[in-house]
Structures are given as C-alpha cells and as structure tokens.
Amino acid sequence: MDKDIVPELLESIQEQFNQRTYDSKKLKMAINKLRNKKASYLDVNDFAIEIGNILADVLSKNITVDVLPDGKMYFNIADRVLNSTMKNNHSLISDFAVDVQTQLNHEAGLRLKGQAPELNQDRIDGIINRVASENDFDAVKWILDDPIINFSQSVVDDVIRTNVDFHFEAGLAPKITRRVSGHACDWCKRLAGTYNYHEEPADIYRRHERCRCTVEYNPKDSRGIQNSHTKEWRSKRQQEKIKQRKTMNLRKERQ
C-alpha cells in the first residue's frame, strides 16, 4: 500500500499558513483597527480575503501533481486536507467578524454580542467533490485558488446574515449595503446599494469569479423604526415559528 501523504502534507500546509498569517501586514492592520475600536465590515472583508489568499497560495505550493498519488487528488486526500484547512479559515474569519460585530453593536448602543454563523459544510463539500472528481489534478487545481478566497469571503456574509437576522428579530430595522470593488461588471453594479432587511436583492451575497464586492452591515443604521413591510415580515416569521414549535411538540408527544 502507498504511504499516506496526508499527515505530512497537512503539517507543512499548517506550518506555512501559520507563518504567513503571523507575518501578514494586512491581518495586523485589521486586528489593530479592532483594537482601536475603528473596525468595520470592510476590515473584516480585507481580513477574509487575506486569509483566503494565504490559504490558496499555500495549498497551491504544497499540492501538486508530483506529490499526489497518480497525479490525482483522491477523495480521501481532498476530504482531510480541505476540511481541516477550510474549517480553520472559517473559524479565524468568523471569530474576527464576531468581535467586530460586538464592537459595532456596543458603538451603536446595543448591549448585544456578535453572533457566530454555522459552518457552511455544503460549500466545503462542493469544493472537495469537485476537486476529487477529476483524474488529472492540473485540470482542477484552479479550484484551490479563487473558490477558496470566495469561500473565505462568504464566511463574512454568513456572519452578516446571522447578525442582521438577530437584530431584526430583536426589533431593529437593519440595512445591508453592497458596494462594488475595482472593475465592476453590470451585474455587480445592479446589486450595489443599501437595502432594508428583507428588501435586498436575492443575489446580494452572491459573487462571480474574482468578484471582490463587499457586503456591509453597521447596526448604527438600524435604529430606525421598522416600516410596515418589515413589520409584516416579522409577524409572518413569528407565526411560522409558532407553527414550527407546535409541530415539534406534536412530534415529541408521539415519541
């Protein structure tokens, strides 16, 4: 049987990743802003892109056709390497974003803690399956580049989504802003803007390849009174929740 390459591979990936993140000026800048209570979701976005960039870079340096058995990234290799490294990215970005959210909450006069999102395992599985589906790693190695950065950005979106929802349920009227970055295409330009929660375009959190558009949330802008539309949403949601709870109780009784 061939030697299992994963333990050594993971060790060198983690070591290089730790060194690169430790040395990163961009990460230091973002962390300093948080420390000085000046951080916003734009800093979280920079933080996420940098973490994503570093991981993509380290993966591409360590995973090559030469080191892979038969030049293929078998499922059991992709599964272990990507689950471990992408989950780590999720934790680092989510932790930082939650700290920034807590700080933004306090600055807006809200005594609320930032809420952490759930890990989006489906996205990780999607990348693992795609990479493992190809016999020739060279044909899919691009997936360990931009999609890793895209995944890292999506963690920020998940934090925003979770907190906006939390604030909405708490009776605030959150607004979400999407901004274009760099050379934006027409699709991105159309999505840009500031929206009341539940009135945002369905694609507000979607990004095409190499899209660096940012989504932001500052609870300072959510202190207004909910308008009739959001009120309607709220009561609909509450009714759904009551219904859910009732069916759950029913299930429990049957057990």
Nearest distance from C-beta of residue 164 to Zn ion, angstroms: 20
Closer of 204 and 213 to Zn ion (Cβ): 213
Closer of 61 and 208 to Zn ion (Cβ): 208
DSSP string, 186-236: HHHHHH-EEEETTSS-TTTT---TT---EEEE-GGGG-S---HHHHHHHHH
Kindly list the distances between the CA atom of residue 193 and the CA atoms of 164, 177, 178, 221, 231, in Å, as whole numbers in the listed order: 16, 6, 5, 14, 22
Using the contact rule CB under 5 A, the part of the chain among 29-37, 38-46, 103-111, 186-194 near Zn ion is 186-194
* Residue 215 contacts Zn ion per CB under 5 A: no
Angle between helices 75-107 and 41-62 (to 10 degrees): 160
Tokens of 222: 């959510």
Q: Tell me the β-bridge partners of 196.
A: 175
Using the contact rule CB under 5 A, the part of the chain among 58-66, 87-95, 134-142, 182-190 near Zn ion is 182-190
Closer of 81 and 213 to Zn ion (Cβ): 213
Closer of 33 and 161 to Zn ion (Cβ): 161
* Residue 188 contacts Zn ion per CB under 5 A: yes
Residue with token string 């973002």: 30
In the list 211, 215, 217, 230, the residue contacting Zn ion (rule: CB under 5 A) is 211
Residue 132 · residue 78 · CB < 8 Å: yes
d(CA 219, CA 57): 34
Nearest distance from C-beta of residue 179 to Zn ion, angstroms: 9
Select from 215, 219, 242 the least CA-distant residue to 168. Answer: 219
Closer of 118 and 186 to Zn ion (Cβ): 186
Nearest distance from C-beta of residue 130 to Zn ion, angstroms: 22
Residue with token string 């990163």: 24
Q: Is 23 exposed, middle or buried (0-12, 13-18, 19+ CB in 10 A)?
A: exposed
Closer of 164 and 191 to Zn ion (Cβ): 191
In the list 213, 215, 216, 230, the residue contacting Zn ion (rule: CB under 5 A) is 213
Total residues in contact with Zn ion, by rule CB under 5 A: 3
- Give the x/- contact pattern for Zn ion in 138-177, rule: CB under 5 A: ----------------------------------------
Enumerate residues 32-51 that contact Zn ion by CB under 5 A: none
Chain residues that interact with Zn ion, rule: CB under 5 A: 188, 211, 213
